[in-house]
Amino acid sequence: MDKKVILITGASSGIGRATAQKLAGNAYTVCAAARQVEKMDDLKALRVATFKMDITQKEEVNSVVEHITSTYGGIDILINNAGFGLYGAMEDIPLEEARYQFEVNIFGLANLTQHVLPNMREKKYGKIVNISSIGGKTYMPLGAWYHATKHALEGWSDCLRLEVTPFNIDVIIIEPGVIETNFGNVMIEQMERSAGGGPYAAITSAVIKSFRNHLESPNYGSDPSVVAHTIAHAISVRKPKTRYAIGKFAKPILFLRRYTSDRFFDRMMMRNI
């Protein structure tokens, strides 16, 4: 059988990087894309093709997709991993920053997917893996804009799944819990910058303190390889699940959100900061 061609976005660190490393030795042709292509130099030793690509820049997206299509015949498996979290009180975050959060986490992802789908439809084969979060079904203070994008990604993915099923294309949602990446440190930096001495300074200080305590505790989260292993499984089976909740606290938190009231969940969130 011909090797399936995989494109992974946001592959310079964290889950994207771990996934590229996991899949590189598994009979796939792996292409990895990120804004900082120099951070993927060591992936080349694993025979991973690396590309500089900012998913908010349409020209870069077009160029990478066209290059992969002309070189390898198309993209069979798309792993939409690129994204970031914008944290701070909703009122304190400038709308231009909020719009950029959506540009990366939703519209850039959607643009790339639109470019990849025609070839998948023609082949009548494809798998689209969207890296969401348990934050796509839950919420916490100071995360309004980030959670909004992940809630949107969940609904977007469900609709897309219905539309592309007739073409033998699977849409798979990955919902990581607490994963040991640089995500937490970036969150803290953003919250410190956005709050200043304004009306949300007290809650911001409390959330930052809580996050720092978690980050400093041993084994505060799961290794990104846990998520990479789940992705590898999901793309290898004939009938993957529509959703995989994986990583520390993922299943317990989603269970609580599903089977408790909004007010109870609100109290639980506030009690933990």
Q: How far apart are the first and last CA of the chain?
A: 52
Q: Going by C-beta distance under 8 Å and a sequence separation of 6 or more, which residues neighbour residue 58?
A: 111
Beta strand spans in the chain (E): 4-9, 28-34, 49-52, 77-80, 126-131, 169-176, 243-246
How many other CB atoms are there within 10 angstroms of residue 116's CB atom? 24
Is residue 175 within 8 A of residue 246, CB to CB? The reply is: yes
Q: Which residues contact 260 (CB under 8 A, 6 or more apart)?
A: 268
Residue 237, token pair as written in the block: 């089976």
Measured N-to-C along each axis, helices 250-259 and 262-271 cross at an angle, to the nearest 10 degrees, of 140
Sign of CA dihedral 149, 152, 158, 162: negative
Facing residues of 171 across strands?
128
At residue 128, the 3 state secondary structure works out as strand
Rounded distance between C-alpha atoms, residue 90 and residue 199, angstroms: 12
Q: Which residues are catalytic?
A: 146
